[in-house]
Structure 1
Amino acid sequence: MAEKSWLQDFPQMERGDLIAIRKTLDGAYRDFSREFGDTIEAFFDPLLTFLVWFEQLLLQTPWWLVLAVIVGLVWLASRSWKLTAGITVAMLAIGYFGMWDNTMRTLSMITVCTFMAILLGIPIGIIMARSNRAQSVITPVLDVMQTMPAFVYLIPVVMLLGIGKVPGLIAVIIYAIPPVIRLTNLGIRLVDKEVLEAATAYGASSTQRLFGVQLPLAMPTIMAGINQTIMMALAMVVIASMIGVKGLGQPVLKSITNQYFTLGLLNGLAIVALAIMFDRVSQAWAKRSQKHLGGAGHA
């Protein structure tokens, strides 16, 4: 006779009770969506307007002008001929293989998501750094955001706002924002206390210490957080394509469902090219900024 498993004696919720709880929660969320869905959608209308405008700007501007602007920004940020030449070749290859429009759509989405993540994430990181209580409250939320499967983010957002750009934007921001919050908090907390004491001795206020000492010294760590946020946003692009976000993710999704190997590979490489561009440029800019800060400090 088989030995009785201890799991059989473990107290479990009755199936009927579990179904009732699920139905209650689902019904409450549906009621919330019907009641406040339009209001929440109206709240995000300005962001949607800006995203559509920026996307159309990239799509309707001649490709050579967009390429010139991208190459110019890369050069100004990195001052590296090798990186600038490499990104120029990559963007020309993207255009040659017919992926320019989707790349511009993805670029617009990632740019807007990154700016929104920075605008929201850095202030939250500052609040965490200045208050242990805030850190103890926000840290578990960030843990959940980083460990929750990316697909799960899409469920409540789609139920609330349907499919389209705004739900995709919200899902990408939620998925990508934790690194910039965490590393902003970490960077500020790692600033040498003796430096802060010296600033206080010179009569600096709390705000002056924050903007004049802590944030400049924490900038390399903050830039690492922004870098990770960009990488996570790019990783979310393919998943966001499931809810109607146009760009490089949709051909990848199409290649998975229809087994188009070359289509998926080329669009995947285009995403890699964007990731390398953002990664190398942000790192180079952070290093150059830190050198200027170091030179100013020695002076």
Structure 2
Amino acid sequence: MNYFTLPLEDWTNNFVYDWLIPVMGGFFDSVSSIISFFINGVADLFLMIPAEVIAILLILLAWKLAGKGIAIFTLIGTLYLGSVNLWEDAMLTLAVVVVATVFSIIIGLPLGILTAKYAVLDKIVRPILDFMQTLPSFVYLIPAILLFGLGEVPAVISTFVFATPPAVRMTTLAIKQVPEDMVEAARAFGSTSWQMLVKVQLPVAIPTIMAGVNQTIMLALSMAVIASMIGAPGLGSTVLAGISSVNVGLGLVGGLGIVVLAIILDRITQGLGNKNKK
């Protein structure tokens, strides 16, 4: 059924190599410098703080927000990361996840609020989110490498693209699910749009928004191994080294490290959402 030829590959390459990189190269270099500054700052902070202090803080957070069982698991998990010499890699992975998640929240939450309030914007943003979620991650690794080089910066960019849609979607859903009678009561008392958002809609919507943040963190962590293919440091590089050398033990060690980190972050953020709900 080849009725006509669509030179999409040529169009894309011409756009990227003939215009985007020559014209916008300086802009992407500036963005790369800013992101690299944040990543290095967060990573240096995590590595500067003694491992025992971070472990204790995580255990206390888990106990406070998720219960005694998760606190015990956090204790065992942090001991595991230290016993297999993966603590530094875990902190580097956590730095990438934190920076990517912060960017996703900064952009995703306001965008989700706007799409909940404006139906036209929702119709525009929804197919873009579908594209971001369904496009294979390896596809947008290519432009990330071209525009930002190798290392942690393209890893954060690709993780941001992959992990932002849940934050937007869940925020939109949370705002739309606020009971109409509460909105009408606030409007009857003369609340402005800003007051209604801050004092009525967001407090009610926080548990669902936190569920979106939780999913964003989980998706960011799931990119750890893929991001290691473009030079991202951390636990993913350990798994990649195990794959490259067909070292099952090394792959298992790194994979369990990612699982431990994922469960700790998942339970803590879930506990935070449940606390806000109560």
Above 0.5 in TM-score?
yes
Residue 47 of structure 1, CA deviation: 2.7
Partner of 2:193: 206
Extract unaligned runs of 5+ from structure 2. none
* Whole-Å separation in 2 of the counterparts to 1:229 and 1:171: 13
Larger deviation, residues 102-111 vs 62-71: 62-71
Instruction: Please state whether the residue corresponding to 1:239 is helix, strand or coil.
Output: helix
Are the counterparts in 2 of residues 165 and 245 from structure 1 also a CA contact under 8 Å? yes
Partner of 2:49: 61
Equivalent residues in 2 for 1:135-150, closer than 5 Å: 135-150=122-137
Are the counterparts in 2 of residues 199 and 209 from structure 1 also a CA contact under 8 Å? yes
Larger deviation, residues 45-54 vs 105-114: 45-54
* Whole-Å separation in 1 of the counterparts to 2:179 and 2:58: 37
Partner of 1:188: 175
1:12 to 3, 18, 23: 3
Equivalent residues in 2 for 1:217-228, closer than 5 Å: 217-228=204-215
* Whole-Å separation in 2 of the counterparts to 1:265 and 1:123: 39
Are the counterparts in 2 of residues 227 and 283 from structure 1 also a CA contact under 8 Å? yes
Residue 262 of structure 1, CA deviation: 0.8
After superposition, the CA RMSD in angstroms is 1.5
Residue 85 of structure 1, CA deviation: 1.8
Could you list the per-position Cα deviations for residues 164-212 of structure 1 after superposition, in whole angstroms to 9, with x for gaps in the alignment?
Answer: 1111101000000100100100110011111100011111111111111
Residue 60 of structure 1, CA deviation: 2.9
Residue 28 (structure 2) pairs with residue 34 (structure 1): no
Are the counterparts in 1 of residues 224 and 235 from structure 2 also a CA contact under 8 Å? yes
Residue 22 of structure 1, CA deviation: 2.4
Instruction: Please state whether the residue corresponding to 1:245 is helix, strand or coil.
Output: coil
Are the counterparts in 2 of residues 153 and 171 from structure 1 also a CA contact under 8 Å? yes
Are the counterparts in 2 of residues 175 and 232 from structure 1 also a CA contact under 8 Å? yes
Are the counterparts in 1 of residues 144 and 154 from structure 2 also a CA contact under 8 Å? yes
Partner of 1:250: 237
Partner of 2:222: 235
Are the counterparts in 2 of residues 30 and 159 from structure 1 also a CA contact under 8 Å? no
Residues 203 and 24 of structure 1: CA distance in aligned 2, closer, same or farther (over 3 Å): closer
Larger deviation, residues 67-76 vs 239-248: 67-76
* Whole-Å separation in 2 of the counterparts to 1:112 and 1:195: 35
Could you list the per-position Cα deviations for residues 224-273 of structure 1 after superposition, in whole angstroms to 9, with x for gaps in the alignment?
Answer: 11111111111111101111100000111121121110111111111111
* Whole-Å separation in 1 of the counterparts to 2:146 and 2:75: 41
% identical equivalent positions: 37
* Whole-Å separation in 1 of the counterparts to 2:258 and 2:152: 18
Are the counterparts in 2 of residues 67 and 88 from structure 1 also a CA contact under 8 Å? yes
Spell out structure 1 runs of 4+ moving beyond 4 A: none
Q: Of the two, which has the highest radius of gyration?
A: 1
Instruction: Please state whether the residue corresponding to 1:178 is helix, strand or coil.
Output: helix
1:273 to 227, 235, 260: 260
Partner of 2:34: 46
Extract unaligned runs of 5+ from structure 1. 1-9, 292-299
1:178 to 165, 172, 187: 165
* Whole-Å separation in 2 of the counterparts to 1:154 and 1:68: 36
